[in-house]
């Protein structure tokens, strides 16, 4: 397979327009050697590089585009101590002890961001402003009630709670929802600023970052890895793949590209809201990811815009249809925003796995990976990047199904028509509340 150029389908986002200062990194132009070579300059790769430097290891990170160019610089910035599945479901599928370990890990992930922000003085708007998962249908109310009960009874965690119709209306400023799961320890971050400032922290601590440097392929040569880029070759003892939904960019993605399905998620940012709307919508500063299968997520930006996201198209093509649909979905929840001007619109790629869980693991004794966050990667990719570094440096951590091999997705070649079928099916289930 030949190297494909980076997709040119990524328009500037609100995050890019407000990204603040950051370091410019050079492309790699001469051959070099390192102990650890990381591919991918998003949260996973940057967190791995930061951890490796903390362990005193020599590392080089190569990014095909720019720091935070992938999902890490385009997402909703919701910092969520949860997985796609509820904890009772995880306990049923993997056992109580594993579910408890995963609960601890989800919170450790948010704590890790908090620690990084504090230790490195990252000016990225991180706040534990509280995360809401509102719902409309009764089965979701039951699912989240069971989650709250399980956490209280099994994990002695009584912090998350259910909000009734009146409370969620007050918190969101819309009568659209019938209730919500409220996690006060969740929060928000400016994702591109977080990416760029974490990269600067890695550089300050002696990590080498090269952007605009696509790894075209790599091979094992004796006890080392040889990675080829357009202008230079890197020899390394260990290779860390942190390419998530962009794993199919080049041959460097190896078999892992068949283990994740890239799904497009899109966002719009309105013009700044009027004072009256700002007082009415999310007045307590919470951020929202609703409970639908085809999720909508939204928050108010620092300068008072509504940032509203949802599913993109089945292919990765930008289209008017996607953004018109997002606008309609936003107007269903907030009719007052129907005519609000849209100032920014952009998309990114989420990596979906067969079982809805991310993975950190190894392909062999030299090649390691972390990916597959299923749209929950702001906190989890920070944690799994850290775990990836530990694993590759010979300090294994065990986290049930999250630590282990990736499962190849059957019929991966048919993913685009399959995505269309699945989206239609989920749309129907969301509409019927099934």
- Closest residue to ligand FAD using C-beta atoms: 377
State in angstroms the smallest separation of the CB of 47 from ligand FAD.
8
Give the CA distances from residue 421 to residues 321, 357, 425, 429, in Å, rounded to whole numbers and listed in that order.
18, 21, 6, 12
Is 70 strand, coil or helix?
coil
Report the residue from 215, 330, 337, 367 that binds ligand FAD according to the rule CB under 6 A. 215
Give residues 114-173 in contact with ligand FAD (rule: CB under 6 A). Answer: none
State in angstroms the smallest separation of the CB of 72 from ligand FAD.
3
Report the residue from 377, 387, 409, 430 that binds ligand FAD according to the rule CB under 6 A. 377
The token pair at 156 is: 């002695």
Angle (deg, nearest 10), helices 43-54 and 191-204: 30
Stretch that binds ligand FAD, among 27-35, 50-58, 64-72, 121-129 (CB under 6 A): 64-72
Give the CA distances from residue 89 to residues 102, 354, 356, in Å, rounded to whole numbers and listed in that order.
12, 15, 12
State in angstroms the smallest separation of the CB of 382 from ligand FAD.
9
The token pair at 30 is: 């001469």
Report the residue from 28, 49, 57, 64 that binds ligand FAD according to the rule CB under 6 A. 64
DSSP of 199-265, one letter per residue?
Answer: HHHHHHTT-EEE-S----EEEEETTEEEEE-SS-EEEEEEEEE--GGGTTSSGGGGGGGGT-EEEEE
* Integer Cα distance of 346 and 124 in angstroms: 20
Report phi then psi at 391, rounded to 5. Answer: -60, -45
State in angstroms the smallest separation of the CB of 138 from ligand FAD.
26
Stretch that binds ligand FAD, among 15-23, 160-168, 171-179, 378-386 (CB under 6 A): 378-386
* Interface mask toward ligand FAD for 6-45; x: CB under 6 A: ---------------------------------xxxxxxx
* Residue 186 contacts residue 110 (beta carbons within 8 Å): yes
Give residues 342-361 in contact with ligand FAD (rule: CB under 6 A). Answer: 348-350
* Interface mask toward ligand FAD for 287-326; x: CB under 6 A: ----------x-----------x-----------------
Report phi then psi at 283, rounded to 5. Answer: -65, -20
Residues that contact ligand FAD, how many (by CB under 6 A):
46
* Integer Cα distance of 364 and 366 in angstroms: 5
Stretch that binds ligand FAD, among 104-112, 123-131, 147-155, 372-380 (CB under 6 A): 372-380
Give the CA distances from residue 62 to residues 24, 27, 42, 43, 330, in Å, rounded to whole numbers and listed in that order.
13, 8, 11, 13, 38
Give residues 65-84 in contact with ligand FAD (rule: CB under 6 A). Answer: 65, 69-72, 74-78, 80
Report the residue from 133, 172, 174, 214 that binds ligand FAD according to the rule CB under 6 A. 214
Give the CA distances from residue 73 to residues 13, 70, 115, 217, 232, in Å, rounded to whole numbers and listed in that order.
9, 6, 20, 25, 27
Report the residue from 330, 371, 387, 402 that binds ligand FAD according to the rule CB under 6 A. 371
Stretch that binds ligand FAD, among 20-28, 112-120, 276-284, 371-379 (CB under 6 A): 371-379
Q: Which is nearer to ligand FAD, 40 or 179 (CB)?
A: 40
State in angstroms the smallest separation of the CB of 127 from ligand FAD.
14
Q: Which is nearer to ligand FAD, 174 or 265 (CB)?
A: 265
* CA end-to-end span of the chain: 42
State in angstroms the smallest separation of the CB of 414 from ligand FAD.
22
Neighbouring CB atoms inside 10 A of 24's CB total 7
* Integer Cα distance of 180 and 197 in angstroms: 33
State in angstroms the smallest separation of the CB of 359 from ligand FAD.
11
Give residues 232-291 in contact with ligand FAD (rule: CB under 6 A). Answer: 242-246, 249-250, 252, 265, 267
Q: Does 376 bind ligand FAD (CB under 6 A)?
A: yes
For residue 420, the surrounding DSSP H or E stretch is helix 415-432
Q: Which is nearer to ligand FAD, 63 or 329 (CB)?
A: 63
**Residues in a beta bridge with 61:** 38, 209
Q: By the criterion CB under 6 A, which residues form the site for ligand FAD? A: 39-45, 62-65, 69-72, 74-78, 80, 214-215, 242-246, 249-250, 252, 265, 267, 297, 309, 348-350, 371, 373, 375-379, 381
């Amino acid at each position: 397979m030949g190297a494909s150029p980076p997709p040119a389908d990524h328009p500037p986002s609100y995050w890019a327009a407000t990204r603040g200062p950051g370091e410019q990194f050079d492309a790699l132009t001469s051959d070099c050697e390192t102990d650890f070579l990381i591919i991918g300059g998003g949260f996973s790769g940057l967190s791995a590089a930061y951890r490796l430097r903390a362990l005193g290891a020599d590392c080089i990170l190569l990014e095909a585009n720019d720091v935070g160019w992938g999902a890490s610089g385009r997402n909703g910035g919701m910092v969520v101590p949860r997985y796609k599945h509820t904890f009772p479901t995880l306990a049923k599928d993997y056992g109580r002890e594993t579910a408890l370990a995963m609960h601890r890990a989800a919170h450790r992930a948010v704590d890790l961001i908090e620690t990084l922000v504090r230790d490195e003085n990252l000016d990225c708007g991180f706040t534990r402003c509280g995360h809401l998962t509102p719902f409309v249908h009764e089965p979701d109310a039951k699912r989240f009630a069971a989650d709250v009960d399980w956490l209280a009874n099994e994990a002695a965690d009584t912090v998350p709670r259910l909000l009734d119709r009146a409370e969620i209306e007050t918190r969101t400023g819309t009568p659209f929802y019938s209730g919500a799961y409220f996690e006060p320890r969740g929060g928000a971050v400016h994702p591109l600023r977080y990416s760029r400032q974490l990269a600067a922290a890695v550089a300050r601590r002696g990590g080498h970052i090269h952007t605009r440097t696509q790894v075209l392929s790599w091979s094992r040569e004796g006890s080392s890895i040889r990675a080829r880029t357009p202008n230079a070759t890197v020899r390394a003892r260990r290779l860390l793949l942190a390419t998530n939904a962009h794993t199919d960019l080049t041959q460097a993605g190896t078999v892992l590209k068949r283990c994740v399905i890239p799904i497009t998620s899109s966002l719009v940012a309105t013009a700044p809201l009027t004072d009256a709307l700002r007082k009415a919508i999310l007045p307590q500063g919470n951020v929202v990811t609703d409970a639908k299968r085809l999720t909508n997520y939204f928050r108010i930006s620092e300068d008072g815009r509504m940032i509203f996201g949802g599913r993109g198209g089945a292919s990765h093509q930008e289209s008017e249809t996607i953004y018109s649909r997002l606008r309609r979905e936003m107007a269903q929840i907030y009719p007052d925003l129907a005519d609000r001007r849209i100032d920014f619109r952009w998309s990114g790629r989420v990596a979906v796995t067969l079982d809805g869980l991310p993975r950190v693991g190894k392909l062999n004794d030299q090649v390691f990976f972390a990916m597959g966050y299923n749209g929950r990667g702001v906190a989890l990719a920070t944690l799994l990047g850290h775990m990836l570094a530990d694993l590759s440096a010979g300090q294994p951590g065990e986290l049930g199904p999250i630590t282990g091999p990736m499962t190849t997705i059957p019929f991966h070649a048919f993913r685009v028509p399959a995505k269309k079928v699945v989206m239609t099916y989920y749309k129907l289930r969301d509409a019927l509340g099934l």
